[in-house]
């Protein structure tokens, strides 16, 4: 089950399509879908989580708390819609494309992809691009 929640005034435009897409990503990665909670929030809200739980005093676009057990993907994915909007401008892409990228980024972490080294980050970006191209939204 996938749920979409907001801690700010953000309203997701196409939740049914996104749920179908994320479900397909999980299945394609040979995992089972458990409970995924997307929480959309402000920079301030996500910064507070970043400091409190990760000891990172920086702004970020997404934080994933992974509760995966075995092959069943579960977790909470917090996304700053402020950061997504700024990054979309910086990368010259639409807000929707950048939002979808960070949404799948969190899922890919649950599937075992990392992004700490340049090599890991390159693999993560390839998979993000692959799944973005499969999205029909």
Provide the annotated binding site: 105, 109, 115
Instruction: Name the one residue in this structure whose structure tokens are 């996500």.
Output: 46
Please tell me whether residue 55 adopts helix, strand or coil conformation: coil
* Exposure string over 56-67, b if 16+ CB within 10 A, otherwise e: eeeebbbbbbee
Binding residues for Zn(2+): 105, 109, 115
Residues whose CB falls within 8 Å of the CB of residue 137, separated by 6 or more in sequence, listed in order: 14, 17, 18, 21, 96, 100
Q: Kind and range of the H or E element at 74?
A: strand 72-80
């Amino acid at each position: 089950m996938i749920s979409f929640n907001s801690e700010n005034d953000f309203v997701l435009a196409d939740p049914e399509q996104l749920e179908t897409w994320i479900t397909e990503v999980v299945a394609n990665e040979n995992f089972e879908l458990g409970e995924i909670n997307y929480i959309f929030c402000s920079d301030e809200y996500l910064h507070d989580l970043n400091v409190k739980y990760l000891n990172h005093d920086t702004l970020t676009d997404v934080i994933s708390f992974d509760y995966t057990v075995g092959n069943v993907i579960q977790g909470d994915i917090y996304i700053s819609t402020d950061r997504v909007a700024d990054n979309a401008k910086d990368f010259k892409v639409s807000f929707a494309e950048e939002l979808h990228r960070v949404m799948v980024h969190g899922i890919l972490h649950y599937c075992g992809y990392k992004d700490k080294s340049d090599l890991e980050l390159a693999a993560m970006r390839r998979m993000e691009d692959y799944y973005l191209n499969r999205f029909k939204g």
